[in-house]
Every structure is written in C-alpha cells, then in structure tokens.
C-alpha cells in the first residue's frame, strides 16, 4: 500500500518511514526542505509546507494514484505564541487536500487525556486538530498517547535532563499525577498496525505502555537508569509560571515548551480503553527497558543516532 508521512523528519516520523518500507509499503515523505532530508532508499520525497496549501497536492499521490493513507504527525508544541492558529491552519490545509485527492484514510497521533474543561492549552490544541482532521472525506484513525519515551522526544529529554542533573528535587503535587508512558518502538508498531488493519478506520484509540506511574516514579526510574538515586521534596504550592521557570533553569528547554509541559502535568493521562490491543497486538515495552534504550541512543554520536532511526 501507499502512505504519506508528514513530519517525516521528526522524532516519530523518522522512525515510521523505515518501518513502513520494511513492510513493503510505498512511502511519500512531505518535508519543508528536501535538500536537508536524507531519506531511506525508495522514499518519494515531496517538498511542501502545510501552511502553503498550493504546495501539498503532489504529496498525496504516487504515479497518479492517491495514497491509501496519510499520516499527520505534526504539531507545534514548542512553537511559541500563536501555535494554536498555526496548528489549525495546517490541519485544515492537510485534510482539504487529502479530501480533494481521494485519500481513503488519515492517521493522526494525538495526546492522551480525558476530554475535560481543565485540559492544558496544548492538549486542547491537539483535540482541535483531531476535530478538524475528522471533518474531511477520509476516515480518521486517531491514536492518543502520553509521554513517548525515546531519544528525540521533547517530553522525555526534559525528564532525562532533570533526572541527570538533580539528585534532589523540590516539586509541587503534580509529581503524584498518574501517567502511562509508551516506548517509541511501540508507538511505531501501533501506527503501522493501524495502517494495515482496516478495522481501525474511523475510530479513536488510546495507546500506552504496560506501566502506569506517577511523574515522581518516572523521574526516579530514569535517574536509576543513570546509576543514581533521587530524593523528591513536595511543596504545597508552586505556580505553573514558577514551575516553568524552574524547568528552564535546570534544563535546556525553551520557555514555550516548558510552559506546555508544566501545564500538562495537572492532567492524568492513562489508558482507559485498550481496544487497540485486540486489533493491533504488539509486545509492549516496559518503561525501564524503554528508558535504557533511549539513554543508550542519546549517548551515541549524532551520526550513529541518525543511522539507528533508519535501520
């Protein structure tokens, strides 16, 4: 089958593209700068920008035939002011072009969490993108995930930064919020399986790893993988603004990403509906194993890391 991957150079897309090729599928990669992209052999590369709809139609076909499915793996988590409008415009341009091209399916990787009024602004934006993608002709499959564990994951690299630098942390009550992280290999497995399993069309699924942990446990286990212990001291109040400033002080995260991450910590993100496991059975990766793999990849030279995502 034929698949379009947007976000092909990103954390998830760069791993999904070779996985699709390994299963014998044809892949179109939509990238903003084709000269800067070194694709695996056999990939059809199309240069375009989701904010410029006139550049998009060539990406939705192979040899004059529409792709069978188009993956939407784009979001502006660290994009700064106005990211919500940019995300809406990108999603609208994408789904309109997919509809015009006659694409059967769209597959979207969204954020896990209950639909409540107190969702973080970032998660609200992800839900709005999901809604827009569902307004087109293609059948939408949504996979909702919490923290994705892997080298290159913005959320995990912040966790790694905290765990590697601080033997003692003073944190607010969000450290006790529950989360169900998932390994990047498992995410790719579900994305690939959703494409190959027609029964996943026109539905929303929650995906997660086998472990439900508090953020405190996530930090402790990550630091343990680095060979150290972690002590956490809870404080009764620490505003999102102060938490974000503290995060920026002790990690390399930019201010917009710091605020997005901190706001998201108030939301419990665990799988309540695991129907996807019947349709796409995979061997789930334990959190400690996922962390060990991520740290190993992060410690490799940049060239070796790039090659690992392509193999």
Report residue 53 as tokens: 């709809």
Residue 311 pLDDT: 43
pTM for this predicted structure: 0.90
Strand bridging mode 26-31 / 44-47: parallel
Q: How many CB atoms lie under 10 A from the CB of residue 239?
A: 10
Burial of 2 (0-12, 13-18, 19+ CB in 10 A): buried
**Residue 265 near residue 238 (C-beta atoms within 8 A):** no
Residue 240 pLDDT: 55
CA atoms within 13 Å, Cβ hemisphere of 160? 25
The DSSP symbol for 284 reads P
**Residue 226 near residue 164 (C-beta atoms within 8 A):** yes
Match 């439900």 to its residue by tokens: 212
Q: How many CB atoms lie under 10 A from the CB of residue 288?
A: 14
- Measured distance CA(270)–CA(2) in Å, rounded: 32
Residue 276 pLDDT: 97
- Which one of 3.40.1160.10, 3.40.50.720, 3.40.50.300, 3.50.50.60 gives the CATH number of domain 2-216+247-310? 3.40.50.720
The torsion angles phi and psi of 302, rounded to 5 degrees, stand at -55, -40
Q: Where are the domains of the chain?
A: 2-216+247-310
Mean pLDDT split into 10-residue runs, the chain, 311 residues: 97 98 98 95 97 97 95 76 86 98 98 73 85 97 96 86 72 80 98 98 97 91 84 61 59 64 76 96 97 93 54 43
The DSSP symbol for 118 reads T
Residue 72 pLDDT: 98
Q: How many CB atoms lie under 10 A from the CB of residue 289?
A: 16
Residue 182 pLDDT: 98
- Measured distance CA(266)–CA(237) in Å, rounded: 13
Residue 124 pLDDT: 82
Residue 102 pLDDT: 97
Burial of 137 (0-12, 13-18, 19+ CB in 10 A): middle
Residue 125 pLDDT: 83
The torsion angles phi and psi of 245, rounded to 5 degrees, stand at -65, -40
Residue 259 pLDDT: 63
The torsion angles phi and psi of 51, rounded to 5 degrees, stand at -85, -5
- Measured distance CA(308)–CA(311) in Å, rounded: 5
- Measured distance CA(140)–CA(200) in Å, rounded: 9
Report residue 272 as tokens: 């309540």
């Amino acid at each position: 089958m034929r698949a379009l991957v947007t976000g092909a150079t990103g954390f998830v897309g760069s791993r999904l593209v070779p996985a699709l090729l390994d299963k014998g599928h044809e892949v179109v990669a939509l990238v903003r700068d084709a000269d800067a992209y070194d694709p695996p052999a056999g990939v059809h590369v199309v240069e375009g920008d989701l904010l410029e709809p006139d550049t998009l139609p060539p990406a939705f076909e192979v040899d004059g035939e529409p792709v069978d499915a188009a993956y939407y793996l784009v979001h502006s988590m660290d994009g700064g002011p106005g990211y919500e409008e940019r995300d809406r415009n990108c999603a609208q341009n994408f789904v309109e072009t997919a509809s015009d091209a006659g694409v059967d399916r769209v597959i979207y990787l969204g954020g896990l969490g209950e639909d409540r009024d107190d969702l973080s602004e970032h998660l609200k934006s992800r839900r709005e993108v999901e809604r827009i993608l569902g307004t087109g002709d293609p059948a939408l499959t949504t996979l909702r995930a919490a923290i994705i564990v892997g080298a290159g994951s913005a959320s995990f690299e912040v966790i790694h930064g905290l765990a590697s630098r601080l033997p003692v942390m003073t944190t607010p009550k969000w450290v006790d919020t529950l989360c169900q992280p998932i390994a990047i290999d498992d995410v790719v497995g579900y994305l690939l399986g959703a494409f190959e399993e027609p029964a996943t069309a026109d539905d929303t699924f929650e995906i997660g790893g086998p472990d439900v942990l508090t953020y405190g446990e996530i930090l402790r286990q990550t630091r343990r993988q680095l060979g150290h212990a972690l002590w956490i001291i809870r404080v009764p109040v620490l505003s999102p603004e102060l938490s974000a400033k503290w995060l920026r002080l002790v990690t390399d995260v930019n201010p917009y990403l710091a605020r997005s991450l901190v706001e998201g910590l108030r939301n419990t993100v665990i799988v309540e509906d695991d129907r996807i496991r019947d349709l796409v059975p995979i061997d789930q990766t334990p959190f400690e194993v996922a962390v060990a793999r991520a740290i190993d990849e992060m410690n490799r030279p940049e060239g070796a890391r790039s090659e690992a995502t392509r193999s």
